[in-house]
Amino acid sequence: MATVYGKTRPGQGGWADFASEVDKYLESEVDGYAVTFAMREHAEKYGLGENDDRAKKARKRTQRRLIAIVLFPVLFVLGIIVSLFNKGLGGIMMFAGVLALVYLGLSGFRSMDRRINKDKENKAYVNKGLEKQVNEKRRAEVERLVGLARQGRPEETGLPEPLQRVSRGYLAEERIGEMLEQQLPDSIEVAHDVTIRTDSRSGLAKAVDGFDDATSEMFYGTTPETRKFGLAMGVIGMLGELSRKSAVTANADHVLSTAAGVIMVDTKHWTGELSLDENGQFTAGPNHAGSQYREKAARTTRFEASRLNRGDVAMIILAVVGGTVRGGRIEQHEDGQIPIIAVPAEDVPRVVTELHNAGRLREPIPMSSVAANSPGTEWYPQS
């Protein structure tokens, strides 16, 4: 079995994204999973909200008042009697009785206020309970639908076809990760769901990076003119920081460290037959609607891989599900680019093992070193 680097399980990030998309779909498209104006208006009429909970709270308030009614005279009278023998203890008992009386007074005022504002408070309370009830109902449905998708039964979810297709891709990613863990030798390290932050910021925001190491004198200034300049740079810096946080993120499904070097495995849910055209580019055939996206997707995957290990990646393996690969294996080599091998998903462990056995490294690079050499990425190590 391969050595697993990190706590992230195969497909974990993908399923979290899928659950979020299902939640958004239910809230915006399916009746009963979002609080509407009509539901708010008729919540009390249809028994929605927390009426039972309110009744329990009312009973507890009554119990506390009865206790206070009993305690006040008992403690006060006992305090008077005890004070004849022990003034300190008697005073404490009388003070406790007074506190019980104060509680009764405050509780009474609160009760009157509640009666005066009954309609307003009822609506607010019921609406609050309604929000909670509907959200819990939606969360339960999201869990049920995600569970069906993870069992390989997306057609039973009733979700739109695009969401079903996405779930098949995440399921394939999860199963490929499990195959890699179980079928690869223990000398290979594998990491799952590595987040890659790609830089899609504007030229202005990128330029701000050039000021990251600027001196404090430059920003705070020693003269009024330089202080104004520093203020302007501070504003630009804040804009740049906001832009940094909105940079696009991608995901490396599986990263492996082998004797052949670092290998990235990416799952592609591609229908049709994958092949190379006369220009050596990926295609699904002249009549397939997805042909124009195959090569673009491969180039995007190449760019993502270039963010790993400072670009020193030996191979990208595209694990194809939902379609076929002409000849069972396709290799694409371009000058100065990371080579790509496309194979059916079930063949990925075998191909990785072949590359590993033919590798020239005495031993694989520690995955911790690969992570350290991958700026702009997020890994999840054990410690």
318-344, pLDDT tens digit by residue? 999 989 999 999 999 999 999 999 999
Quick one: 182 and 111 in the same domain? no
E runs forming strands in the chain: 3-4, 189-197, 249-258, 261-269, 273-276, 282-283, 315-321, 324-325, 330-332, 340-344, 377-378
Residue at a domain's end among 151, 175, 197: 151
Q: Give the best-scoring range by mean pLDDT among 1-5, 96-100, 214-218.
A: 1-5
* Token pair 């299902």 in the structure block, residue: 22
Alpha-carbon 368 to chain mean position? 23
Q: What is the distance between the alpha carbons of residues 103 and 67, in angstroms, rounded to a whole number?
A: 11
163-197, pLDDT tens digit by residue? 998 899 899 999 999 999 999 999 999 999 998 88
Q: Is there a domain that residue 383 lies in?
A: no
Locate 318 and state its tokens.
């595209």
Q: How many domains does the chain have?
A: 2
Residue at a domain's end among 130, 151, 172: 151
Q: Is there a domain that residue 333 lies in?
A: yes
Predicted pLDDT of residue 337: 93
Quick one: 179 and 326 in the same domain? yes
Tell me the average pLDDT across 105-132: 66
Q: What is the distance between the alpha carbons of residues 95 and 99, in angstroms, rounded to a whole number?
A: 6
Q: H-helix or E-strand containing 181?
A: helix 161-183
Quick one: 195 and 131 in the same domain? no
Quick one: 264 and 338 in the same domain? yes
35-44, 90-99, 108-117, 354-363, range with the lowest pLDDT: 35-44
| Chain mean pLDDT for the chain | 80
Locate 5 and state its tokens.
């680097």
Q: What is the distance between the alpha carbons of residues 339 and 324, in angstroms, rounded to a whole number?
A: 20
Predicted pLDDT of residue 105: 85
Question: Quick one: pLDDT band at residue 40, thresholds 50, 70, 90?
Answer: low
Residues 276, 334 contacting (CB under 8 angstroms): no
DSSP code for 210: G
Q: In terms of C-beta density within 10 A (0-12 exposed, 13-18 middle, 19 or more buried), how is residue 79 classed?
A: buried
Tell me the average pLDDT across 88-92: 86
275-327, pLDDT tens digit by residue? 999 999 999 988 888 888 999 999 999 999 999 999 999 999 999 998 999 99
Quick one: 205 and 88 in the same domain? no
DSSP code for 358: T
pLDDT higher for 40 or 182?
182
pTM, two decimals, is 0.64
Question: Quick one: pLDDT band at residue 115, thresholds 50, 70, 90?
Answer: low
